[in-house]
Amino acid sequence: MIKIYHNPRCSKSRQGVEYLEKSGAKFEVVRYLDDVPTESELKDIVSYLGISPEELVRKNESIWKEKYKGKILSDDDIVSAMVKNPKLIERPIIIKNGRAVIGRPTENIDKLL
């Protein structure tokens, strides 16, 4: 089953959902601002993406700039920051069978379909 971590207020995230709908694939929507991933889940997502936690952070968010930018942070610190402030998590994230992509651009989703 495909899972998409989605923020309905984000146009790129909405485009990701639409792309999956048009593909005909069955998928589950996780509204991650309401159903925040645990630290363990977020570490799994980072692993599936094959990136560092910092690469999953939306660095233009004011929360990042005010609280975290310029500080020396471990991967665990960054994961913890994203759990406490889920707006920092890049979106949309699409997961299937232990693999994941960030749906920017939406064509990235094809890698999982």
In the chain, the domains with their CATH numbers are 2-111 (3.40.30.10)
pLDDT at 5: 98
Question: Alpha-carbon Rg of the chain, whole angstroms?
Answer: 14
pLDDT at 67: 95
pLDDT at 21: 96
Q: For residues 52 and 15, give the distance between their C-alpha atoms in angstroms, rounded to a whole number.
A: 25
Q: Are 103 and 56 in contact (CB under 8 A)?
A: no
Is 31 in the active site? no
Retrieve residue 79's tokens.
């994961």
* Set 2, 10, 73, 83: catalytic member: 10
In tens digits, what is the pLDDT along the chain, a chain of 113 residues? 899 999 999 999 999 999 999 999 999 999 999 999 999 999 999 999 999 999 999 999 999 999 999 999 999 999 999 999 999 999 999 999 999 999 999 999 999 99
pLDDT at 85: 97
